[in-house]
Amino acid sequence: MKRIYYDYEQFRREDGPTSFFINDAEAMPAGTEIYAMPVEDKSDEYDRVSKKNGIYFIFEDNIPKNPFYSVPYLCLFATDGGNGFFACKHISDVEFEEPIYYIPGRKKVYRVAESLEELISGGRSWQEKLRQSRKVKLYDSRSRAEMNEPFVDDSMINMEPLPELSVQELKKLFR
């Protein structure tokens, strides 16, 4: 099945999920978001992990500039103390068994661990486990990504919110 992308920021909704129904295609979010933790969450444990592993979680008092536009979407949650970033597909995924990516610059993406727990428990050994990922591409901007990847045509989108449905009504829809 082919993939078609949509800009995550453009369609992100505070009041619920966004869904696309496209025949013969899988709609995937694109873009890059920086997840910054509240300053109140800083602790000695984060300092210990940073020094031991070379992984510096991003906090609200030190948010880096968003360096690129990713296809598909990535959420940056830590740096290597320099120009490199650690990312996952969605910030909620970081707590589960989801791949963690390392981006040392603006061109290449590496899959570095199968979960955040694996990344942290390995000390600095993550630097020896870099496997290039060809599933994620980095661009300078959304417009550059749209020149190279298939994106949802904004004019085709109807942004009407769905009415709240009961469980019985939902079951009828999916029969």
**What element of type H or E holds 2?**
strand 2-7
Q: Which amino acid does the sequence have at 62?
A: N
Q: Percentage of the chain with pLDDT > 90? A: 45
pLDDT (tens digit per residue) in 98-146: 899 999 977 799 999 998 888 888 888 888 889 999 999 999 999 999 9
Query: Domains of the chain: which residue ranges?
Result: 2-173
Rounded Cα distance, 175 and 166, in Å? 15
pLDDT (tens digit per residue) in 95-105: 667 899 999 97
Q: With 80 as the cut, is the pLDDT of residue 57 above it?
A: yes
Query: What is the pLDDT, as a whole number, of residue 22?
Result: 72
- Cα-based angle 119, 12, 149 (whole degrees, multiple of 5): 75
Q: With 70 as the cut, is the pLDDT of residue 55 above it?
A: yes
Query: What is the pLDDT, as a whole number, of residue 38?
Result: 93
Q: With 60 as the cut, is the pLDDT of residue 72 above it?
A: yes
As given in the structure block, the two tokens for residue 98 are: 């989801």
